[in-house]
Structure 1
Amino acid sequence: MVNNNEISPFAVTSFRGHEKVFGIKDDDRRRHMYLIGKTGMGKSNTIEHMAIYDIQHNRGVAVVDPHGESVEKIIKFVPKSRINDVVYFNPADLNYPIAFNVLEKVSPEYRHLVSSGLLGVFKKIWADSWGPRLEYVLNNAIMALLEYPGSTLLGIMRILTDKIFRKKVISKITDPVVKSFWINEFSKYPDRFQAEAIAPIQNKVGRFLSSSMMRNIVGQIKSSIDLRSIMDDKKIFLLNLSKGRIGEDNSALLGAMIITKLQLAAMSRVDIPEEQRNDFYLYVDEFQNFATESFVNILSEARKYRLNLILAHQYILQLDEKVAAGIFGNIGTICSFRVGAEDAEFLEKEFEPRFMQNDLVNLPKFHMYLKLMIDGISSEPFSAKGIAPLPIPGESQEVVDKIIKITRERYTTKKDIIEDKISRWSGVMDVEEEDKEKKVDRSWPKERSNLDANINSPSSSQSPKVQAICDNCGAETVLNFEPDPRKPIYCKKCLKDIKEKRINSSRPAARPNSNIPRKEISLAEAFKKQPVDFKNRSRPSPGGAG
């Protein structure tokens, strides 16, 4: 049974020289928390303290950190009893990428949320060069891929340039508006207009996908992390999206995609009664990097699904106008550290008459003014101080090493394997491999293809089973042989079609009149030696007939 009155401490208040730690009830945390203040004023320290408290009290937690420092500190406080609960998502661990496919298994009613979330972060990153035509084409590309099995973000580039792949995707589209766009509109664009329409998308989306780090994460068909399971089982999801290691744009894109999928995972909890939903606490530091217009939906709907947000950033102008309105309209607890003059003017409306603009700009470090949600009602503003940073445990490095090892074993695949799969999916073969094939000694027996191996595969008891992805339809299949990475792989259904086509096409066509003897003539007889009059367009026919 959930105790809604359990208190999570996060600050200290002082009265007549006596300091007392205070906190917020679990039920009030469901109305979310918002922290604002200049850099270095204590926001991250408050987030770290609250997240560590939740972790040590067996709660479900996700921390999205665009700097990486808070996550690297929080992970050191994980109790040994909870090491197996941690999923440490570190894109900078290049040799062991975690699979995260934002397009995987999205219910029809939520597809527009994924599309708007992706478009929102793309628009945020390229605000200066964003246009309506780019958004229109990109939205239809994403909506189409959401209906095609085995799609990833890599498909965005392919659906725009590969006519065969586009035809396969169109055959799976059920949305009449999206299907009409690809059949009746895009396919009828003149080549020049089509090239102009897709060039901005290739330039922008291609920038992300050209990075092997991003490609190896978002290009895998099946995600290795189940966000719904993480929420329901009260696991610990730590995202180290350090801008310095993976780049600012990559950090923003990954963070926005994961937050969108967390929202979808939370909304899917509609299949269980509200009182049985475990609280899950989502901490987002510097959240302006991930805050798109679709973020307003999370703020307004997350409470009923027990997704509780703790958001922090530096100043209000970092936010879109709609997002800012959504925050101050839905947030229960507001904590203000020292802010600039413009923010103080805005926040004064929340804290007056107790605290005025001058008070907000002169707060000492680690001090805050806050309006605390108490039993569903916002309190009068009061002052407090953040709890002092906790000392690092002595065995912290041993814990961190174990967590990284377990995460690699359970949730990652080696880089070489992923890159090979993506190359085969893209239809790309290294020049070296092509050269090897050209240099094969033809006196040796012809090497058996994956198609032949599928047709004549031995019994399952004699060969190991190998998991693979069909290169034709993207479905998962099991092989009874070790596939050749240079050759395509097919599932049973596609194999049957390919086999029939190969057998039919292998039958030699009848050659009419093949038994009629032909008269052999010389070249001189075939072409009569006479000058050709180029002014006269007619030419002499072979054999001299004019």
Structure 2
Amino acid sequence: MDEFAEIFGNLVGLAIILMTVAIAVVFIGMIVAPIGLVGGGTLYYLNNIHVPEKRRREAQQRTRALYAQAQQLSPSFDQVEQALFEAGIESAELHRIAKVLYQQEGLQPPVLPPVGDDPIKLARYQVELEKFINAAQPDHYQEFERHLIWALSEYEPDSSDESQMFHSKRQRSKLEIERLILRFVNDDGLFKGLTDQLNENYFAENEVMPSVCKHDDYVWSYLKNTPLLPLADVQEMVGLQDRMYHTYLLGSSGSGKTNLIENIIAHDLRSDEDCCVIVIDSQTQLIDKLAKLDIPNTTHITPKYNLALNLFDVGYEEMKGRGIEGETLINKTVGLLSFVLEGMMWAEFTNPQKTIFQYVIQLVISIKGGNINTFMDVLADGGHERYADEISQLDENMQRFFAVDYPAPDYKRTREAIRRRMDGLLRNPTFRRLFSATENKIDMFEEMANQKLILIDTNKPMLDDAPSAFFGRLFIALILRASYRRFGGAKTERPVYLIVDEAHEYFDRSISDMLEQARKANIGLIVAHQSISQARGAKGGSNITDPLMVNTATKLIWTSFREDATKFAGSMQVKAEDILTLPQFTFGMHSRKQGFAPVKGVPRALEGFEKRDDSQSLQEEMEEKYGPTLKADEDRPDDDPDAPHASGVPNKPTNDPGGIAVPPEVEVI
């Protein structure tokens, strides 16, 4: 019974518990569950909708705030460009480099915020804004701008230098590349992207600086993957420097040598410098082109005009009256006239020839009105006896020579040889016309002092080889003789630029002395010809290339001949291949200050000048100013075959239609 009661009691307790649980479940289902659902929904809303939206709004607000701050700080590239222009940096290439560095520095103004709610994009954009804000702080930007201008300023092409004549493009040297790199390396944290790449390139080269690297690919090795790579090539305008120390120009046929000379002349004529330009050329095209230009104060000397030329009219009496100074001038004059006359011999003077020339020249310049005919007459048998009065006025040594040595058989053979050579020139009617005058109307000292352009046309097609060379040598001698009169005020005398094309036709072994003489008188030469083989055939039989290589500060060359390239390469401190691989019309130029650079003249450099309306007017002006006032034959009676020459010597029998005696064949000694 008790056991049954205990079981019944347990069942009742269980029922009570179950009922309680059921009542609780019903209560919770009716009261707690809705509250839980509401609470859970609230939590979900807060965590998945409200908070993200709040963060999005905060991010957008921060982005807008950063963007506004960045916009206030933003130094646009226009501001950088303006600073560059104000500093005189105008090159488009330098501006492009500056823009890349400006962007790498984080100074690029921010773009508009990204569209959409992508938090990752917004975060990245905020990072970019913060970087920009840090970089664009006034102190940092000002330091960047200052260093950028300093670093780039050295590479702005100089377009204001009046010595510039040619376009030049070359690769910078190893030392120049090193200097370029070091201008951007700094300890201020500037140009970090650039300096990191430069350091990477440097370490790839085993920490060897460009100036001492051993390979030729140094530009790419040290500047690859940097905005500085375009600066490896130099494109600039360059000109001739140290012009009073002379220029040697060698250009093969088809090289553009004449065009290069035209560029030099065009520059000198346009320059504000008060200078005189003299051009000597035998090929006529250049001279004719220049003669058509309307250049004030132009002198045009050509065998086509009727001019009074007398190489022996040198002002002897004036020089004689100047004491020791006059004696020096007489000696120099005799030497220059020997240079002129030696050209007709096509070989160096022998000692007897040199003696004859020097004594006869001194006699003829002392004779009033003495000219080329006088020179020929004195060389004839007994010709000197007609000038006993003039000889008696000379010094004792001169008198003894003409009395004792001159008539001797050995000297007679030499005189006949010289006379025959001279007669070869006088057979040319143009030559006779030009040099029959008893006076010389052209004073090169006055010409160089007053004229802007002097054209000396030696016109080989008209005169032929020997007379053309004689004509050119005469005016070179007149220029050099005038240079002695410039010595006293050489530094204040206006510069003279003498351009001699086809120079091998005129110069000989004495060119070294002539170059030195010209330099002292403020006369700068440009000596041009086509090849070294021509120089070997220079008048006097000597090679003029060696003295030209030594005595010129600037060299210009374009050639396809290895011999010529090798000869110049040693003096220009480059390899022969550097010369042989130059493009046509591009010359290699080397100066003592600039080193080696390829240069190119602009085509048709003279086209911009105004042309003369009437070319005939220039001829009329020249003949009126420089034409003969009295021809040598005007006072000779036509009916007296024994009437004296203007020189005073009786006419000789002749078998030459030009009226000049032809000596018998003789051996040149």
Q: Which of residues 273, 281, 287 is equivalent to 1:71?
A: 287
Check conservation: 1:86, 1:237, Cα contact below 8 A: yes
Quote how far apart the aligned CAs of 1:368 are.
Answer: 1.0
| Distance change in 2, residues 1:6/1:265 (3 Å) | farther
Partner of 2:252: 38
| Distance change in 2, residues 1:102/1:368 (3 Å) | farther
Give CA deviations for 1:233-256 in whole Å, capped at 9, x if unaligned: 243211111100111111100111
Check conservation: 1:33, 1:331, Cα contact below 8 A: yes
Give CA deviations for 1:288-311 in whole Å, capped at 9, x if unaligned: 111123322121121221111111
What is the number of residues matched between the two proteins? 409
| Distance change in 2, residues 1:178/1:295 (3 Å) | farther
Alignment gaps of 5+ in structure 2: 1-159, 171-229, 320-326, 650-669
Partner of 1:418: 631
Residue 369 in 1 paired to residue 369 in 2?
A: no
Q: Distance in 1 between matches of 2:490 and 2:356?
A: 39
Residue 244 in 1 paired to residue 461 in 2?
A: yes
| Distance change in 2, residues 1:11/1:289 (3 Å) | same
| Distance change in 2, residues 1:46/1:124 (3 Å) | same
Matches within 5 A, 1:330-409: 330-352=551-573, 355-372=574-591, 377-390=592-605, 392=607, 396-398=611-613, 400-409=615-624
Q: Which region of structure 1 is more displaced relative to structure 2, 224-233 or 7-16?
A: 7-16
Indicate the structure with greater helix content.
Answer: 2
Alignment gaps of 5+ in structure 1: 438-468, 474-546
Check conservation: 1:216, 1:418, Cα contact below 8 A: no
Quote how far apart the aligned CAs of 1:76 are.
Answer: 2.5
| TM-score, normalised via structure 1 length | 0.68
Quote how far apart the aligned CAs of 1:270 are.
Answer: 2.4
Residue 184 in 1 paired to residue 393 in 2?
A: no
Quote how far apart the aligned CAs of 1:71 are.
Answer: 1.0
**What is the SS of the residue equivalent to 1:220?**
coil
Check conservation: 1:116, 1:294, Cα contact below 8 A: no
Residue 318 in 1 paired to residue 534 in 2?
A: yes
Residue 166 in 1 paired to residue 321 in 2?
A: no
Matches within 5 A, 1:461-472: none
| Distance change in 2, residues 1:393/1:38 (3 Å) | same
Residue 148 in 1 paired to residue 367 in 2?
A: yes
Partner of 1:480: none
Read off the aligned partner of 1:226 and give its amino acid letter.
Answer: D
| Distance change in 2, residues 1:151/1:367 (3 Å) | same
Q: Distance in 2 between matches of 1:429 and 1:104?
A: 28
| Distance change in 2, residues 1:171/1:393 (3 Å) | same
Q: Distance in 2 between matches of 1:36 and 1:216?
A: 34
Check conservation: 1:65, 1:242, Cα contact below 8 A: yes
**What is the SS of the residue equivalent to 2:556?**
strand
Partner of 1:258: 475
Residue 229 in 1 paired to residue 446 in 2?
A: yes
Check conservation: 2:293, 2:612, Cα contact below 8 A: no
Quote how far apart the aligned CAs of 1:11 are.
Answer: 1.3
Partner of 2:498: 282
**What is the SS of the residue equivalent to 2:163?**
strand
Q: Distance in 2 between matches of 1:434 and 1:150?
A: 21
Partner of 1:543: none
Quote how far apart the aligned CAs of 1:394 are.
Answer: 8.6
Quote how far apart the aligned CAs of 1:131 are.
Answer: 4.1
Check conservation: 1:144, 1:170, Cα contact below 8 A: yes
Check conservation: 1:99, 1:224, Cα contact below 8 A: yes
Check conservation: 1:59, 1:235, Cα contact below 8 A: yes
| TM-score, normalised via structure 2 length | 0.56
Q: Distance in 2 between matches of 1:62 and 1:113?
A: 22
Give CA deviations for 1:199-222 in whole Å, capped at 9, x if unaligned: 212210122233332233223222
Residue 270 in 1 paired to residue 487 in 2?
A: yes
Quote how far apart the aligned CAs of 1:380 are.
Answer: 1.9
**What is the SS of the residue equivalent to 2:239?**
strand
Partner of 2:311: 101
Read off the aligned partner of 1:47 and give its amino acid letter.
Answer: I
Quote how far apart the aligned CAs of 1:124 are.
Answer: 4.4
Q: Distance in 1 between matches of 2:648 and 2:375?
A: 17
Q: Which region of structure 1 is more displaced relative to structure 2, 56-65 or 244-253?
A: 56-65
Check conservation: 1:60, 1:279, Cα contact below 8 A: yes
| Distance change in 2, residues 1:326/1:78 (3 Å) | farther
Read off the aligned partner of 2:267 and give its amino acid letter.
Answer: Y
Read off the aligned partner of 2:360 and give its amino acid letter.
Answer: A
Quote how far apart the aligned CAs of 1:123 are.
Answer: 4.1
Q: Distance in 1 between matches of 2:356 and 2:648?
A: 25
Indicate the structure with greater strand content.
Answer: 1
Read off the aligned partner of 2:518 and give its amino acid letter.
Answer: A
Read off the aligned partner of 2:300 and give its amino acid letter.
Answer: Y
Partner of 1:203: 420
Give CA deviations for 1:496-540 in whole Å, capped at 9, x if unaligned: xxxxxxxxxxxxxxxxxxxxxxxxxxxxxxxxxxxxxxxxxxxxx
| Distance change in 2, residues 1:202/1:125 (3 Å) | closer
Quote how far apart the aligned CAs of 1:121 are.
Answer: 4.8
**What is the SS of the residue equivalent to 1:221?**
coil
Residue 307 in 1 paired to residue 516 in 2?
A: no
Quote how far apart the aligned CAs of 1:44 are.
Answer: 1.6
| Distance change in 2, residues 1:154/1:293 (3 Å) | farther
Query: Root-mean-square deviation (CA), in Å?
Result: 3.0
| Distance change in 2, residues 1:166/1:206 (3 Å) | farther
Read off the aligned partner of 2:506 and give its amino acid letter.
Answer: F
